[in-house]
Structure 1
Amino acid sequence: MLAAAAIILLITAIAHSYLGERYILIRLFSRNKLPELMGGDEFTKSTLRFAWHITSITWLGIAAVLYFDNYHSALFLYSIAAISLFSAAMAAFFTKGKHLSWVAFLSVSVLSYLSVA
């Protein structure tokens, strides 16, 4: 179950970075009205890009721990389940279910919860 959860997170992270860069960040950065912080809009663009991709990196890290570490505590797995459930709820609520990440996060939540021995 944890391997499946890890694979779901891996796919989600790759899709998030690639699709976000291609369809959201590039289009956002082409606009002329971004806030100018620290002397220009380059800092704003760099911060948005960093914040976008650090999310994917975090999911990759969690996926690696779920996949490669065989000694998960119940607290760790319940935490992953709770965080993933909250992420699914937020994605479903704020996008009215249109952003399908809620399916991935709900799957990770259920798999993590059920894997507690």
Structure 2
Amino acid sequence: MLLLYLAATLAVAIGVAHSFLGERYVIQRLGRLENLPRLTLGGRESMLPVLRFAWHITTMAWIGFAAILWLMAHRRLSHESAGAAISATFLVSAAVSGISSRGRHYSWIVFLAIGVIALWQVVG
């Protein structure tokens, strides 16, 4: 069981490092480029927010996996707890996607649907 706690901790740590270092060394540098590609909807100014939320959603997924590992370590992983962790991960992803793209990137709708469906199946 201790190894599951270690795995959960490492998943959170790599997620935090991924977000912090990626923001500092990848996203900010890309934002300074003059020739950043344009998006079909929104143009060049929409590209950086899309890159940013896509980058950080990876971190959120890893933290969601960490929650499942932690539940496994506590021997509390059940249909309900796994569904709740998955639902929370997708609901947070929906919020980040929707807010950072100001609703222009439609992934937030799909993430929201997944989160609500998972939660509905767990609660209902």
Same fold (TM over 0.5): yes
Match of 1:58 among 61, 64, 68: 61
CA positional deviation for 1:25: 0.5
- Over aligned residue pairs, what C-alpha RMSD do you find? 1.8
Segments of structure 2 that go 5 or more residues without pairing to the other structure are: 83-124
1:18 partner letter: F
Structure 2 length-normalised TM: 0.54
The residue number in structure 2 matching 1:112 is none
The residue number in structure 1 matching 2:44 is 41
Match of 1:30 among 24, 32, 38: 32
Higher relative contact order (CA 8 A, sep 6+): 1
Q: Distance in 1 between matches of 2:69 and 2:23?
A: 26
The residue number in structure 1 matching 2:119 is none
Answer yes or no: is 1:9 the counterpart of 2:4.
no
CA positional deviation for 1:3: 0.4
CA positional deviation for 1:36: 1.3
Query: Residues 37-116 of structure 1 correspond to what in structure 2 (within 5 A)?
Result: 37=39, 38-69=41-72, 70-72=75-77
In percent, how many aligned pairs have the same letter? Answer: 45
Segments of structure 1 that go 5 or more residues without pairing to the other structure are: 77-117
CA positional deviation for 1:16: 0.2
The residue number in structure 2 matching 1:21 is 23
Q: Deviations over 1:7-57 (max 9, x none)?
A: 110100000000000111000110010111123212211111111000000
Paired residues, what number? 74
Structure 1 length-normalised TM: 0.58
